[in-house]
Homo-oligomer: A and B are copies of this chain.
Amino acid sequence: MEAVPRKTTIRDVAEAAGVGVGTISRVLNSSSQVSRETRARVLKAIRRLGFRPNAQARRILRRRSETVCFLLSNRDFLHPFHARILQGVESYASGMKQHVLFAALHYSPRIAADKIDLPHVLQEHGLIDGVILAGTIYPNLLRRMESIHVPFVALSNNVMGMDGKSAFDQVGFDDFSATLEATRHLTGEGHREIAFAGDLSFPWFQRRFAGYREAMREKKLKPVLAAAKGAQSFVDFGQRVAQRIMGRRPKPSAVVAGNDEIAYGLWLWLRRQGVKVPDEISLVGFDDREEAVLMDPPLTTIRVHKEEIGQTCMKMLLERLHNPQMAFSQRILPTEFVIRGSVRHI
């Protein structure tokens, strides 16, 4: 351990153990075919010399880098949502002796695909085996990814403007069923005037709205979309929407928010106006971020299993790498409706 471990190569070990280089390689890769005594002798020499094989050299021959790239696109920062997914990717990867490279990318949805300046690591060859696309994914990025011939898996919830089938692997969760269930819960609790708060220019809010609308249709209730222009953030959006909603007649008794941040914005405004949640108005969020449970009352919301999504992305990517001919597929993971304290029975 203390001997300088630098320049010891497989040939040094071979000489020290009095065997050929091939034998060292066989011992390292435990590919049978080595006698018990020889193996012991080699292992002893390895330990004595402090030999650590150079993984780089192996990678050339194997034509595998055993590394995948987690590519976060068009995000100002690594939001807890994606941080959790990254963590899921890492945990699955480390179990499979794979490495995860983190890279960020900023690009315009309107730029030509071949003009997208991918991170350095994707421009060279052999550094990574595959990519997990996170962040916001526009069609031009997908086309760019295809052009470099590297297998990839995309987080389908953040894919923009691809309605039909697409020729790539995807992992996502079921926005529609999630708000369907959440809204059914509200109607089950006796609510009739239920609004949905979200900006439908985002496809995921469209899907969530559709689930909400379906549940409303089932009960023959009138869906109400509450939106606001010029919001600086989701929280700001929530605050603006709250103001609007409270001006409506009839006043809604419950709001399904497009995500937890919007719900927080709603809550903040309501609180400031002295409107009690859930006594006067019920609230449902979406995502179940850390803060949801810390709100007062704790927010009833839809939990997205972020680690599991990350793990599934990694798993799917490895399957693709092992079997490049496999048909493309989309895996949809279930969400979980978490009942806390922000919904009241009427």
- A271–B5 alpha-carbon span in the complex (Å): 60
Shortest Cβ distance from A62 into chain B, in angstroms? 10
In the bound complex, do residue A55 and residue B102 qualify as a contact, i.e. CB atoms below 8 Å apart? no
Q: Top 3 nearest A-B pairs by Cβ distance?
A: A52-B125, A55-B124, A78-B83
CB-defined A-B contacts under 8 Å, sample of 16? A1-B114, A6-B149, A52-B124, A53-B124, A54-B124, A54-B126, A55-B124, A56-B59, A57-B60, A77-B83, A77-B87, A79-B83, A87-B104, A94-B120, A101-B102, A268-B294
Shortest Cβ distance from A75 into chain B, in angstroms? 9
Which residue of chain B is the closest to A236 with respect to CB atoms? Answer: B294
Q: Which of A59-101 contact B (CB under 8 A)?
A: 59-60, 65, 67, 70, 77-80, 83-84, 86-87, 90-91, 94, 97, 99-101
Which residue of chain B is the closest to A85 with respect to CB atoms? Answer: B78
| A18 interface residue (CB < 8 Å to B) | no
Contact with B along A116-140 (1 / 0, CB 8 A): 0001110111110000000000000
- A294–B101 alpha-carbon span in the complex (Å): 32
* CB neighbours of A4 from chain B (8 A): 149
Shortest Cβ distance from A126 into chain B, in angstroms? 4
- Which listed residue (B6, B70, B99) contacts A127, Cβ 8 A? B99
Shortest Cβ distance from A65 into chain B, in angstroms? 7
Q: Which of A146-184 contact B (CB under 8 A)?
A: 147, 149
In the bound complex, do residue A99 and residue B80 qualify as a contact, i.e. CB atoms below 8 Å apart? no
In the bound complex, do residue A264 and residue B294 qualify as a contact, i.e. CB atoms below 8 Å apart? yes
| A296 interface residue (CB < 8 Å to B) | yes
- Which listed residue (B80, B123, B271) contacts A80, Cβ 8 A? B80
Which residue of chain B is the closest to A114 with respect to CB atoms? Answer: B1
* CB neighbours of A189 from chain B (8 A): none
Shortest Cβ distance from A253 into chain B, in angstroms? 23
- A272–B298 alpha-carbon span in the complex (Å): 13
In the bound complex, do residue A53 and residue B294 qualify as a contact, i.e. CB atoms below 8 Å apart? no
| A103 interface residue (CB < 8 Å to B) | yes
- A87–B80 alpha-carbon span in the complex (Å): 12
| A235 interface residue (CB < 8 Å to B) | yes
| A291 interface residue (CB < 8 Å to B) | yes
In the bound complex, do residue B149 and residue A5 qualify as a contact, i.e. CB atoms below 8 Å apart? yes
Which residue of chain B is the closest to A127 with respect to CB atoms? Answer: B55
In the bound complex, do residue A65 and residue B60 qualify as a contact, i.e. CB atoms below 8 Å apart? no
In the bound complex, do residue B65 and residue A56 qualify as a contact, i.e. CB atoms below 8 Å apart? yes
- A236–B57 alpha-carbon span in the complex (Å): 51
* CB neighbours of A294 from chain B (8 A): 235, 264, 268
In the bound complex, do residue B104 and residue A90 qualify as a contact, i.e. CB atoms below 8 Å apart? yes
In the bound complex, do residue B70 and residue A102 qualify as a contact, i.e. CB atoms below 8 Å apart? yes
Q: Can you add 14 more A-B contacts, CB < 8 Å, to A5-B149, A99-B121?
A: A52-B125, A53-B124, A53-B125, A56-B56, A56-B65, A70-B102, A77-B83, A80-B83, A83-B83, A90-B103, A94-B120, A99-B103, A100-B102, A101-B102
Which residue of chain B is the closest to A239 with respect to CB atoms? Answer: B294
In the bound complex, do residue B103 and residue A101 qualify as a contact, i.e. CB atoms below 8 Å apart? no
* CB neighbours of A97 from chain B (8 A): 120
* CB neighbours of A79 from chain B (8 A): 83
Q: Which of A3-61 contact B (CB under 8 A)?
A: 4-6, 52-57, 59-60
